[in-house]
Structure 1
Amino acid sequence: MTGPHTGPAAALAAAGRHLAALGLSPGTSGNLSLRVPDGLLATPTGGSLAALEANRLSLLDRAGRVRTGPPPTKEAPLHLAVHDRLPGVAAVIHLHSTYAVALACTEPDDPDDALIPFTPYAVMRLGRVPLLAYAHPGTPELADGVRHLAEDTTAFLLAQHGPVAVGRDLDEAVGRAVELEEACRLQLALAPAPRVRALTPAQRADLTARTRRTPADTTEDPA
């Protein structure tokens, strides 16, 4: 990535590698985006955040079309929807970090406030963290779920899927992603045994049908 995007691209790649080094992005999971004046920088599909390079990012226009770079993460519609719903947000981070994914597989008393306020830090840095209803990864339905988020949302959980943290800049979004993972870990350690929710047989069958592939088929990727 050259020209006016060199600095933002380097920062986005560094943030991805940092999150991977913290153990919050196993395998090829996780994706990031950063708003720039002429669109959105996004991580590519199929790549590991641990090996993210600035010259391998995708630049999307505001409609999600690729302007330069490789194909973006399949969660690009989710990122675009978050940026559209929360115009003050510059950075969006979606991870598959262990404790946040685990909490996203439970049934909270209040889906609009899924994080129990055990510490003042979670309240000050995250506020209310909603749990959004399940939708197949990478689909318009998943993106549609964010359109009713409160305008002051800092983070949320995708049911059976994982966390999303946002920020006015990359540092703020990274800090919230880390804080959310720790808050989820604390909640799972302290709270009474939660009601655990698994994918339904219909959801499992749909996933199997969507992801069944031949050895040469690479159309469906976990990132």
Structure 2
Amino acid sequence: MSASPATKRDENRLREQIVEFGRSIFERGLTAGSSGNISVRLDDGWLLSPTNVCLGRLDPARIAKLDWTGRLIAGDPPSKEAPLHRAMYEERSGSGAIVHLHSTHSAAVSCMHGLDCHDCLPPLTPYFVMKIGRLPLIPYHRPGDPALGGAIRGLAGKHSAVLLANHGPVVSGVSLEAAVYAMEELEETAKLFLLLQGLPTRPLTDLQIEDLKTTFKLEL
């Protein structure tokens, strides 16, 4: 069945948003080369940036469209990380978009030894708590490994973002804009975390976090 005109207009708008945010992410140095991928949920499937294509040079007409079995409906072959995105959508029904990057500071943290696998970054700022909450670590999987989807499923229901060991962050949001903003906050917090290594640090207390959860109705 063909999409209704309204649905088709919405899909075209979302394709343009992926291009716009992809270019912004690339131009600000949050991803390099052909790394990183972006997806957006549709009523009849989902859009995903193609494989081996720079996020700064996406063509809206060539963005992959998949159904919920992962079958390619239209566009170029999707990113090899399609199973990762699909698993996160299946676990988080409220997610409208997912961004996965190899952003420098977050990727650096993902390579560190001795991280708390339940919460990789301390609550240094209220904005990190509000946009990310807890950030669990997913054990290393090679890029595109289908098993990564299973690892994501174990955590995505409770967490809007995860950190892939020796790889980088994956962040979901109610919209593409929300997912990108949350990714940016995660990257800035990772940068702060690395800058503060070896220095006395004062993260937010449990009481301060509870106040944020109550005030802003957060589900962490």
For normalisation by structure 1, the TM-score amounts to 0.82
1:160 deviation in Å?
0.4
The amino acid across from 1:19 in the alignment is I
- Out of 169, 184, 188, the position equivalent to 2:190 is 184
1:115 deviation in Å?
0.7
1:30 to 1:73, Cα distance in 2 relative to 1, 3 A: same
Inter-partner Cα distance in structure 1 for 2:159 and 2:80: 23
Structure 2 unaligned residues grouped into runs of 5+: 200-220
1:191 deviation in Å?
2.8
The amino acid across from 2:103 in the alignment is S
1:62 to 1:150, Cα distance in 2 relative to 1, 3 A: closer
What is the CA deviation profile of residues 3-57 of structure 1, one whole-angstrom value per residue up to 9, with x for unaligned ones?
3421111111111111111111101000010000000100001100011121110
What is the CA deviation profile of residues 122-154 of structure 1, one whole-angstrom value per residue up to 9, with x for unaligned ones?
112211011111111101111111011153422
- Out of 169, 188, 193, the position equivalent to 1:163 is 169
1:118 to 1:151, Cα distance in 2 relative to 1, 3 A: same
- Are the counterparts in 2 of residues 166 and 173 from structure 1 also a CA contact under 8 Å? yes
SS of residue matched to 2:118: helix
How many residue pairs match? The answer is 192
Q: Which residue of 2 aligns with 1:137?
A: 143
- Are the counterparts in 2 of residues 91 and 173 from structure 1 also a CA contact under 8 Å? yes
Inter-partner Cα distance in structure 1 for 2:158 and 2:142: 25
Q: Which residue of 1 aligns with 2:56?
A: 50
The amino acid across from 2:82 in the alignment is A
Q: Which residue of 1 aligns with 2:110?
A: 104
Percent of aligned positions with the same letter in both sequences?
Answer: 42
Inter-partner Cα distance in structure 2 for 1:139 and 1:179: 27
SS of residue matched to 1:123: helix
- Out of 121, 124, 145, the position equivalent to 1:118 is 124
SS of residue matched to 1:149: helix
Inter-partner Cα distance in structure 2 for 1:115 and 1:181: 11
The amino acid across from 1:30 in the alignment is G
Inter-partner Cα distance in structure 2 for 1:118 and 1:108: 18
Inter-partner Cα distance in structure 1 for 2:23 and 2:16: 11
For normalisation by structure 2, the TM-score amounts to 0.83
What is the CA deviation profile of residues 92-119 of structure 1, one whole-angstrom value per residue up to 9, with x for unaligned ones?
0000110000000013442111111112
- Out of 61, 68, 72, the position equivalent to 1:62 is 68
Inter-partner Cα distance in structure 1 for 2:95 and 2:52: 25
SS of residue matched to 1:34: strand
- Out of 71, 84, 98, the position equivalent to 1:78 is 84
